[in-house]
Amino acid sequence: MTNAIMGRCEEGIAACQQSLNLAPDPLSRAVALGWLGYAYIEKDDGPGATPLLEQSVSEFANFGFAQFHGWFTIYLAEARRLTGDLAMAETLALQGLARSTDAGSIYGIGLADRALGRIAYAKGDLTTAGTQLDRALHTFATMETRYDLGRVHLDLALLAHAKDDRARAANHLRQADQLFATLGLPSHSARVHEMAQSLSLPIAGGSSDESH
């Protein structure tokens, strides 16, 4: 999982596959399946992630670990979004939100809000996308989960650009760049600069105190 977050997706997939191969019991297997699916999501490979996460979510129904059940349901929603099945993605994200809420998982709630925001954006519902992504931003900022916070800033940059708010879009990209640089994630910083170039947005300098 760490390799995948660091941008070394193939290494992350290989490590998670090895963990799956060595899983000593059904619960460990369900966890390993879930993280392997997540590694594929980090690669933006929805078709690769979907069957792994479907199996993980199915197996977690037999265990009493509502937190993981919620997380992997949300990651399955992300996988479905990547395949273009937005209706199923939304259903799964809402299920994951309910499970995370029941488990008291604030992080899971943030993941669900981010997924719902991304799904709404893909559907063209920019108002709902903004509401959900702002909620996710607040949750991750409160928890100080800087990687997820950086990713939400990227989502909000795309949203702001779609609303023709170039200043806000550039600000979100700057904040994402700062977070990824602090975390030592050069591949993600490179993604920020590629996005800035593709959107013709300047991100050097400027104010970074506008959070959304």
Q: Where are the domains of the chain?
A: 2-116, 144-212
Provide the terminal-to-terminal Cα distance of the chain, rounded to the nearest Å: 29
Q: Can you give the length of the chain in residues? A: 212
Angle ∠(77,125,94) on CA atoms, nearest 5: 30
pLDDT of residue 178: 96
Q: 């060595």: which residue's tokens? A: 22
pLDDT bin (cut points 50, 70, 90) of residue 22 is confident
Q: 């949750």: which residue's tokens? A: 139
CATH homologous superfamily of 2-116 equals Tetratricopeptide repeat domain (1.25.40.10)
Do the Cβ atoms of 71 and 108 come closer than 8 Å? yes
Question: Two tokens at 124?
Answer: 């063209």
pLDDT over 90 (residue 162): yes
- In whole angstroms, what is the distance from residue 89 CA to residue 67 CA? 19
* Tens-digit pLDDT profile for residues 81-118: 999 999 999 999 999 999 999 999 999 999 999 999 99
Q: Is 34 exposed, middle or buried (0-12, 13-18, 19+ CB in 10 A)?
A: buried
* Tens-digit pLDDT profile for residues 163-196: 999 999 999 999 999 999 999 999 999 999 999 9
Model confidence pTM above 0.85:
yes
Question: Two tokens at 44?
Answer: 């933006």
